[in-house]
Amino acid sequence: MGYVWVEAVIRNPNTGKHVSVKALVDTGATLTVIPRRVFEELQLPLRGRRSVRTAKGYVELDECFGAIEVMGKSTETRMLVSDDLEFALIGVTTLELLGLEVDPVTGRLRESATLLL
């Protein structure tokens, strides 16, 4: 399966200010990561810093709180802020909150069941 790219809207839940971004769905990532320019433009609430393991090793990233909308579904969630990315990464926790998953056959997002087993 190749890359899964989607259009997403990142929103400041306090002000309603929003921006559309190109986002890569990353099933190897836990949380969503946004570019610093989006964080600054939307003035998202900073929640601290988090140590995360990346392909290049451990790094400290700012953590903020915002809303994300993909395919007409939206949720509020914690997001990490990157100085290195020009696009957003959507992690699996965000996908689950949105009720979406990657269809391995088509390589696109589809609605998923919410499990309460």
pLDDT tens, per residue, the chain with 117 residues: 568 999 999 999 999 999 999 999 999 999 999 999 999 999 999 999 999 998 889 999 999 999 999 999 999 999 999 999 999 999 999 999 999 999 999 999 999 988 777
Burial 59-71 (b: 16+ CB within 10 A, else e): eebbbbebbbbbe
Retrieve residue 106's tokens.
């088509």
Please provide the DSSP assignment of 28-64 as one string.
Answer: T-SSEEEEHHHHHHHTPPEEEEEEEEETTEEEEEEEE
Instruction: Give the model confidence (pLDDT) of 1-33 as tens digits.
Output: 568 999 999 999 999 999 999 999 999 999 999
Structural domains of the chain, ranges and CATH numbers in brackets: 4-110 (2.40.70.10)
